[in-house]
Chain A
Amino acid sequence: MEERDPIINISGLKNCFGDQVVHENLDLSIYPNEIVAIIGESGCGKTTLLRSILLLQKPSAGEIEVFGTNVLNTGSKKALTAIQNRWGMMFQSGALFSSLTVLENIMFPVDERAKFYQAFEKEIALVKLLLVGLPLSAASKYPSELSGGMIKRVALARALVLDPELLFLDEPSAGLDPAGAAALDELLLTLRDQLSITMLMVTHDLDTLWRVPDRVVFLGERRVLAALPMKELVKHPHPSIQAYFANIRAQRYCGHTEEEHHG
């Protein structure tokens, strides 16, 4: 996988909030068709890293290349839009447009992107709505009428509606019940296989971490401490990583899974 050109290439990234330095000399490469999860202690800048790539947060220093183009300096608005059309983001709290219905929320990116007949746009949106496991009856509801889990699904449907090549997910399974979270995990894997979507997610969900990502990036000390498959990461000797997995909940889970793997 590593021989191919990376889809995201970050080098020497630095992010500060006032005096507080969140990232410094951060390097990271994401390759096509892989799913990468970012973990780390609270406040280590996981979401900030996503926001930097998405150009929602201007880095103090460093280079970010997405699809081989430097997104910090694309030259023209058109070049930037071309990149933005190829990625999708699912925000942690959904970030649905509260004045639009669920269906209109999902249709919104399609309507902005291409000139389709209303009926066709509706059908595209409905396909994605059903794909993420929402009932048809949800289509005409407003975001304020939805439960937390449904908001997540609508947010995912909206992020997926353009069939992005690159999908960012901020805590996709947080707030979902275990069955819903497991279904979401499977959905992400299916989507990756069928639509060749590269995914970069921030998550704390250990079930997801074991099941979904090909590599897990551990952020600490303002940089990437390790980027390894989960099985190798839990054995990494770095004290921060050991501390992260040393708590009872994580250990119970590691033991459980390793038994499964070995036995």
Chain B
Amino acid sequence: MPTAAKASFEWVSSTKLALAGNWTIDGVHVLQKAVTKKLNTKEQKITIDLSGITRLDSSGSLMLLRFVKELHAQGANVGYVNITENMAATVQMVQDEVAKISDEHEPEKVTLLARLGEWTVEKAGVAVDFLHFFGRVTVYLYMLCLGAFRLQWAMIGKVIENTGFRALPIVALLSFLIGVVITYQVSEQLATYGANVYIVNLTGVITLREFAPLVTAIILAGRTSTSFTAEIGSMLLNQEVDALSTLGVEPLERLVLPKLIGLLIVTPLLVVWADLFGLIGSMLMSELTLAIKPLAFIHRFRNVVDVSHVWVGLVKTPFFATTIVTVGCFQGFSVAGSSVSLGSRTTQSAVQSIFLVIVIDAAFSVVFSVLGV
């Protein structure tokens, strides 16, 4: 085992420096400080004796060269004695390469202002690219309607299964819980006024119009948008997208359109599913907190909640679906180079699609209130 003694050195006389021990990566780090502190000399000629060295590797050679450099700087000429042919070759090899090192490899320093500018330009560029991508998706969708491509039913089916069918349990559970939470909060307020039965009006409208679509869209944004990004991104890194292009298949048509069509079908269905479970949660909680029997809840629901609220909830779904697919796929196609980029794009995909879903929902609220729907 060459892990014996650490590297060391000793002034045998004022002109002779004897090296000893293990001059390898494991041994020489103890000498780092010594280079500048313990090498003072006034002599003109120094010999370095390497006879005590058990092993010399390139890290050791580099350290040796630092010694030599330091002695040179103090005006001494340096020669080696007892250096084996192998050691000399190793030192020479390292010396040759060290001579080529310059500052060229240092990355340029960037000021804060320049970085801010770069960031702004980059973000603006992303916004433009996103619009460009959205435009292309629209054009392809239009071409699909004109019959330019075959509809990929098998792929659409897969999208429906993965994003819809497999999301049923989580959507059901979350809407149910949201129904429970809202009913609990509202019922306390209503009970103080003795307006218990109005719980049906409140939760019915709020679930159908707002919470079911929003919860569904947020689940889709978190679950589906990210999986689209990861899928397309890793295909891109694996050159699968290039393979599609060379086969004359437009990647956008094959990878984005089935997802878009699939999600346009799935989202309204999931919202109806969320409506159902949200109302069930609300109904069960009403019985617990306000003692409204489920049958009475259903009866009143039929009388006071208009079906138009369901439509208001469903009208938003194509916008949500389009946003989720476009953001997810756009981020996927923006993956460049490495797995790090894939990770950050996936995060951005979730953040941006949830953000946009909420913005769109707010915009709809404003529009509906102006229209008086």
- Chain B interface size, as a band, is 20 to 34
Task: Please report the C-alpha to C-alpha distance between residue A127 and residue B90 in the assembled complex, in whole angstroms.
Answer: 12
Other-chain contact of A116, B32, B93, B106 (Cβ < 8 Å):
B32
B58 touches A123 (CB 8 A): no
B107 at the interface (CB under 8 A from A): yes
Given known contacts A117-B32, A120-B62, A195-B58, is B101 in contact with A136 (CB within 8 Å)?
yes
Q: Which B residues are in CB contact (< 8 Å) with A113?
A: 25-26
Q: Which B residues are in CB contact (< 8 Å) with A123?
A: 62, 98, 101
Q: Which B residues are in CB contact (< 8 Å) with A110?
A: 25, 59
A136 touches B94 (CB 8 A): no
Q: Which B residues are in CB contact (< 8 Å) with A145?
A: 337
Q: Which A residues are in CB contact (< 8 Å) with B98?
A: 123, 126-127
B58 touches A99 (CB 8 A): no
B86 touches A194 (CB 8 A): yes
Interface centre among A127, A143, A190 (most CB of B within 10 A): A127
Considering the complex, give the chain A residue whose CB is closest to the CB of B339. Answer: A98
Q: Which A residues are in CB contact (< 8 Å) with B29?
A: 114-116, 120
A223 at the interface (CB under 8 A from B): no
A245 at the interface (CB under 8 A from B): no
A103 touches B338 (CB 8 A): no
Q: Which A residues are in CB contact (< 8 Å) with B341?
A: 144
Task: Please report the C-alpha to C-alpha distance between residue A145 and residue B340 in the assembled complex, in whole angstroms.
Answer: 14
Task: Please report the C-alpha to C-alpha distance between residue A85 and residue B2 in the assembled complex, in whole angstroms.
Answer: 11
B338 touches A137 (CB 8 A): no
The distance from the CB of B108 to the nearest CB of chain A, in whole angstroms, is 9
The distance from the CB of B99 to the nearest CB of chain A, in whole angstroms, is 9
Task: Please report the C-alpha to C-alpha distance between residue A127 and residue B100 in the assembled complex, in whole angstroms.
Answer: 9
Over the window 23-45 of chain B, the binary record of Cβ atoms lying under 8 Å from chain A Cβ atoms (1 yes, 0 no) is 01110010010000000000000
A181 at the interface (CB under 8 A from B): no
Considering the complex, give the chain A residue whose CB is closest to the CB of B63. Answer: A120
B102 at the interface (CB under 8 A from A): yes
A142 at the interface (CB under 8 A from B): yes
A251 at the interface (CB under 8 A from B): no
B3 at the interface (CB under 8 A from A): yes
Given known contacts A127-B58, A144-B338, is B100 in contact with A136 (CB within 8 Å)?
yes
B115 at the interface (CB under 8 A from A): no
Considering the complex, give the chain B residue whose CB is closest to the CB of A128. Answer: B58
Q: Which A residues are in CB contact (< 8 Å) with B339?
A: 98-99
A73 at the interface (CB under 8 A from B): no
A195 touches B90 (CB 8 A): yes
Q: Which A residues are in CB contact (< 8 Å) with B58?
A: 124, 127-128, 163, 195
B83 at the interface (CB under 8 A from A): no
Q: Which A residues are in CB contact (< 8 Å) with B93?
A: 131, 190, 194
The distance from the CB of B6 to the nearest CB of chain A, in whole angstroms, is 11
Over the window 97-118 of chain A, the binary record of Cβ atoms lying under 8 Å from chain B Cβ atoms (1 yes, 0 no) is 0110001000000100111110
A130 touches B337 (CB 8 A): no
Q: B-side interface residues toward A, CB under 8 Å?
A: 1, 3, 24-26, 29, 32, 57-59, 62-63, 86, 89-90, 93-94, 97-98, 100-102, 104-107, 336-341
What are the 10 A-B residue pairs with the smallest beta carbon separation, nearest first?
A144-B337, A98-B338, A139-B105, A163-B57, A130-B97, A140-B107, A99-B340, A136-B104, A127-B97, A136-B105
Q: A-side interface residues toward B, CB under 8 Å?
A: 82, 85, 98-99, 103, 110, 113-117, 120, 123-124, 126-128, 130-131, 136-140, 142-145, 162-163, 190, 193-196
Question: A113-B25, A124-B25, A130-B100 given. 14 additional CB < 8 A pairs?
Answer: A82-B1, A98-B338, A98-B339, A98-B340, A110-B59, A113-B26, A114-B25, A124-B59, A126-B97, A127-B101, A142-B337, A144-B337, A145-B337, A190-B93
